[in-house]
Amino acid sequence: MCTTVIVGSKATSDGSILMARSADSSALKAQLFLFHPARDYKPGDMYRTKDYHGATAFEFPQPARSLAYTSVPNWQTHLHGAVGFNEEGLGVTGTESIFARDDALALDPYNKESGITEDDIIDVILPRCKTAREGVELLGKIIETYGAGEGFGVGFADAKETWYLETGTGHEWMAQRIPDDEYFASGNQGRLRWFDPSKDDCMGSSTVISWAQKNGFYDPAKGKFDFAAAYTRNDSRDRQYNDPRVWQIQRMFNPSLVQEVDDGRDFPVFLKPERKLTVQDLEAVMRNHYDNSEHDPYSFGLDGKEPWRPVCVFRTYESHVLQVRPWMPKEIGNVIYVAFGMADLSCYMPFYQGLKSLPEQYREGTDKADSKSIYWKFRKVQTLAMMNYQLLAPIVKETYAKHEQEMTAKQAELEKKYLELVKTDQKAADELLQKTNLELLASTEALADSLLNNLFTVATEGVQKEVFFANRKQKD
């Protein structure tokens, strides 16, 4: 269960393309950061999900030569990659779990035996596709041919375009290009609506309209084709779990917009923000939990029964902001900011596309806490802070906020030096990038260690005050 926000280049403060998403399942689901080198395959070689103990028996032919790419997968299978860039600069975030309407799904069910799922998408698209449009086309073809093993939404971004694809039923899908001056937000529901095959900014399955018409989910006499109405669920399950998140995001970026929370189907699909957006704005969305409102499940005592599901939940195992800056070399222009664990109590760290390797702790971690993996460095801080959110969370937030500001300044210095150096010495520029990026990550890891000790000190002092049992002379 996830939340996605995608912003076009003319809606951002610096012309970046931005995609953000939280990945929510279990706090015990340690995440890794992996590099996948380019490699050659022989004719007949297959990508098989079962080889990695994935969700289905999906299989797909390997390319003759794969592209190098990164992924942020789970610890068990090294699949289920949440986000990544490939060497051509294509970025993908996926997936947003979405749900088809039950009556349509009964006629065209998900292929849960051998269909493509979230397990596969990053590891199928990024080694093969060079552009966002190619990525959409390939994933769409796979859905039509093999079937989707579940309902999902996927974001694609390159230097020119940003797209979002949603499944309908098992073999029907739609994708739409994000308008350059607008943004898109989704929270576990189908959000794309007006499909027009004559327009260059729309793609879909070859039978997306005819199937809906044939089976009684679309009547042309009633107006233009509405993909969400024809295919995706829209009932009481969406009113509290999904709609409030989209409502909150649109309220953050368009505060003058007045709309009822339970009007989810009628929320605008795309909106022009009332101010230009930044990486930090999307990080703020990923951290949002209806802060300090009556629906805040953390600030006034932990409330797991709060009916409005927030963007930020404790069981978020990672969230990210993917940034594309086409005017820069992709080595520094493409960045993934990753916060391991719960974003509200985590720190967004930059991973440049030009980064070549990472320390071992980024390749380690399980469903049990340890003292080495990068995931558990952050999760331990978060778990302790949640034990007394009112006392400890402000310490975490202030510490990480200051550090993120410091990293932003250091990134600006790095990028300036890189642009100068790359003019004459590509190797030296790349070495500078590697060294500086690793230093930023190491400083954040050290800060998490220090913060954990600080929280234990504060918590220990608090417990001692509660059960001190002093004698009358206060001497022991």
Residue numbers annotated as active site:
2
Q: What tokens were used for 46?
A: 């297959």
CB 49 within 8 A of CB 56: yes
Main-chain dihedrals φ then ψ at residue 426, nearest 5 degrees: -60, -40
C-alpha–C-alpha distance, residues 127 and 45, integer Å: 14
The Cα-based distances of 286 to 68, 274, 303, 476 in angstroms read 28, 19, 19, 47
Helix or strand or coil: residue 330?
helix
Q: Which residues contact 149 (CB under 8 A, 6 or more apart)?
A: 55, 56, 58, 110, 111, 112, 113, 114, 115, 116, 117
C-alpha–C-alpha distance, residues 410 and 124, integer Å: 35
3-state helix, strand, coil in the chain (%, to 5): 35, 20, 45
Helix or strand or coil: residue 332?
helix
Q: What tokens were used for 229?
A: 């109405």
C-alpha–C-alpha distance, residues 180 and 174, integer Å: 19
C-alpha–C-alpha distance, residues 377 and 381, integer Å: 7
CB 188 within 8 A of CB 169: no
**DSSP states of 45-62:** -EEEGGGGT-SS--EEEP
What would you report as the CA-atom Rg of the chain, rounded to the nearest whole angstrom?
A: 23
Q: Which residues contact 102 (CB under 8 A, 6 or more apart)?
A: 233
